[in-house]
């Protein structure tokens, strides 16, 4: 099986969104909205495969699980709450406790995890920063989560409530890509990775040529129209 992680980490999240938007007609471009980046490298992209974790209310009948000690290397840890605990508008979650902290990042990093996305709050922001391990979340908190919520399942689809009551579903093993712009997800079940990668490579080359034209004083719109012609044949 071919693994696209190393090449994906040479792209920007915007390049990936361009591919999903233009090649697959995905209006969201795979962007997971409202996430803040708190830590991680400032000058490169990180990519991993979604290792999904669902948190539910503390009195949920399902027993609490330990997920942090069994993350496969190359994963991007993605943590979400059940839909009733989410909100459409800021702060996007009903839970004011932090689902994730610095010790968890240390353990994830030790296992070769590429980064962590928490669709909720995290804490220990200074410790996160010092680890240089990529962490994204909606916001921050100070209190641990044990009296409010608990992890109940791994590697199941996670539903994320976004504006206008839309729900995005993140599936286990979707590609997750992060940089300073935010987080993008490639829905692996509905995308041919080989075709998408080909499109993105070409589209980056086109943007490079347009930038060159602009540096030479050419008008932007005309340059884009001309340079993007070559992308049309990849849309078939
Ligand atoms: O105790 C917790 O819930 C999380 C935490 O602070 C850590 O991982 O450092
Ligand atoms: Ni802590």
Q: How many angstroms separate the CA atoms of 82 and 58, rounded?
A: 12
Q: Please enumerate, by residue number, every residue annotated as part of a binding site.
A: 101-104, 123-124
pLDDT at 5 exceeding the cut of 60: yes
Question: For residue range 58-98, what is the model confidence (pLDDT) as tens digits?
Answer: 999 999 999 999 999 999 999 999 999 999 999 999 999 99
Interface confidence (ipTM) of the complex: 0.96
**If pLDDT is split at 50, 70 and 90, which confidence band does 138 have?**
very high
Question: For residue range 177-222, what is the model confidence (pLDDT) as tens digits?
Answer: 999 999 999 999 999 999 999 999 999 999 999 999 999 999 999 9
Ligand that comes closest to the CA of residue 102: 1
pLDDT number for residue 172: 98
Question: For residue 211, which phi and psi values (nearest 5 degrees)?
Answer: -60, -40
**Residue with CA at minimum distance from ligand 1 atom 6:** 101
pLDDT at 2 exceeding the cut of 60: no
pLDDT number for residue 55: 98
What predicted TM-score, i.e. pTM, was given to this entire model? 0.96
**Residue with CA at minimum distance from ligand 1 atom 1:** 144
Which residue of 64, 96, 98, 104 sits with most ligand 1 atoms within 8 Å of its CB, as the best mutation to test the pocket? 104
Architecture of domain 5-191: 3-Layer(bba) Sandwich (3.50)
Mean pLDDT of 45-55: 98
| Cβ-based neighbours of 21, under 8 Å, separated by 6 or more | 27, 29
Dihedral sign, Cα of residue 218, residue 25, residue 192, residue 117: positive
Ligand 1 contacts (CB < 6 A) are: 101-104, 123-124, 144-145
CB burial of residue 164 (10 Å; 0-12, 13-18, 19+)? exposed
Which residue of 55, 124, 135 sits with most ligand 1 atoms within 8 Å of its CB, as the best mutation to test the pocket? 124
pLDDT number for residue 83: 97
Q: In angstroms, how far is the first alpha carbon of the chain from the final one?
A: 25
Which residue of 68, 98, 121, 141 sits with most ligand 1 atoms within 8 Å of its CB, as the best mutation to test the pocket? 98
Q: Please enumerate, by residue number, every residue annotated as part of a binding site for substrate.
A: 101-104, 123
pLDDT at 1 exceeding the cut of 50: no
Residue with tokens 């999903």: 20
Q: Which atom of ligand 1 is nearest to the CA of 146?
A: 3
Of all residues in the chain, the percent with pLDDT exceeding 90 is 95
Q: How many angstroms separate the CA atoms of 166 and 160, rounded?
A: 8
Q: How many angstroms separate the CA atoms of 118 and 200, rounded?
A: 27
**If pLDDT is split at 50, 70 and 90, which confidence band does 236 have?**
confident
Distance, CA 145 to ligand 1 centroid (Å)? 8
Q: Please enumerate, by residue number, every residue annotated as part of a binding site for Mg(2+).
A: 124
Distance, CA 124 to ligand 2 centroid (Å)? 6
């Amino acid at each position: 099986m071919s693994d696209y992680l190393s090449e994906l980490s040479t792209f920007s999240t915007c390049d990936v969104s361009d591919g999903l938007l233009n090649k697959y007609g995905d209006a969201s471009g795979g962007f997971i909205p409202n996430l803040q980046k708190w830590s991680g490298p400032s000058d490169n992209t990180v990519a991993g495969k979604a290792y999904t974790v669902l948190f539910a209310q503390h009195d949920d009948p399902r027993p609490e699980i330990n997920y942090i000690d069994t993350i496969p290397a190359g994963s991007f840890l993605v943590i979400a709450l059940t839909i009733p605990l989410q909100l459409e508008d800021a702060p996007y979650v009903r839970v004011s406790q932090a689902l994730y902290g610095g010790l968890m990042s240390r353990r994830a990093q030790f296992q070769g995890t590429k980064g962590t996305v928490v669709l909720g709050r995290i804490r220990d922001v200074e410790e996160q920063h010092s680890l240089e391990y990529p962490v994204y979340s909606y916001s921050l908190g100070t209190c641990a989560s044990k009296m409010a919520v608990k992890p109940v399942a791994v590697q199941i689809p996670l539903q994320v409530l976004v504006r206008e009551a839309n729900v995005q579903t993140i599936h286990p093993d979707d590609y997750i890509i992060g940089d300073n712009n935010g987080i993008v997800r490639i829905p692996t079940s509905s995308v041919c990775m080989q075709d998408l990668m080909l499109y993105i490579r070409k589209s980056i080359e086109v943007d490079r040529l347009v930038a060159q034209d602009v540096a030479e004083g050419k008008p932007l719109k005309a340059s884009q129209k001309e340079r993007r012609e070559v992308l049309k044949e990849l849309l078939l």
